[in-house]
Amino acid sequence: MSHSRVSSLYRALRGISPPGGPTLQGKASSFTSSSPQWSEAWRIQCALFLACYERMATISPIPLQRGWRLLAAFNTYLSFSETPPPPAPGKRLDINQAYTLLTYSGFLSPHSDPEIQRTQCPTCSMNYPILASKTPQSQGCPLCAINANLRRLASQAGTAARRLPAAGGE
């Protein structure tokens, strides 16, 4: 199909124009690393989409067409990630990023070695994406990292509250 035909179908299905241009990420590490540019929340979004895509394979005893499966998984992902509270702007994958993530994960070319694999956290049981070229132990769980940060902040808030003078005192 031509680009204009695909764009018009996207507009008809979604009611908005398709995201433009090439994908925003050019490396597999953009879907797995936790750096200031790519947050733990972004890694959770990637894990959520991969789970949706993988789950789509289980709805039929016959293999599903990859394009349909991508679109169905992406729609499912969007419905999950739209529930309150919504992710901050730029924290959700667009269809181009979802396709790129699948490519790096080996779902679209099953005969190649994927650059991204998923591993299950022994603490919270979440499956999250990791780089195949690094050891799983060096790539911690994004959900547990967020939880640890929340515990740290709560501890700091409790310490700060104990240092404040009582209201009306002194």
Q: Helices 40-56 and 142-163 meet at what angle, rounded to 10? A: 150
Instruction: Please give the model's pTM, rounded to 2 decimal places.
Output: 0.74
Q: Can you read off the two tokens belonging to residue 48?
A: 């959520």
Task: Please count the other Cβ atoms lying within 10 Å of the Cβ belonging to residue 44.
Answer: 21
**Which burial class, exposed, middle or buried, applies to 69 when counting CB atoms under 10 A from its CB (0-12, 13-18, 19+)?**
buried
Q: What is the pLDDT of residues 98-125, one digit of tens each?
A: 999 999 998 877 777 899 999 999 999 9
Least confident of 76-80, 107-111, 150-154: 107-111
Q: Which of 33 and 36 is assigned the larger pLDDT? A: 33
Over 60: is that where the pLDDT of 167 sits?
no
pLDDT value at residue 51: 95
Q: Where are the domains of the chain?
A: 8-161
Q: Can you read off the two tokens belonging to residue 109?
A: 């070319």
Q: What percent of the chain is modeled with pLDDT above 70?
A: 79
Q: What is the pLDDT of residues 50-75, one digit of tens each?
A: 999 999 989 988 888 888 999 999 99
Residue 141 CA, chain-centre distance (Å), reads 12
Contact (CB, 8 A) for 96 and 10: no
Q: Which among 30, 37, 42 is positioned nearest to 105, based on CA atoms?
A: 30
Cα–Cα distances in Å, from 84 out to 39, 55, 79, 80, 147?
Answer: 19, 23, 11, 9, 19
Banded model confidence at residue 131, pLDDT cuts 50, 70, 90: very high
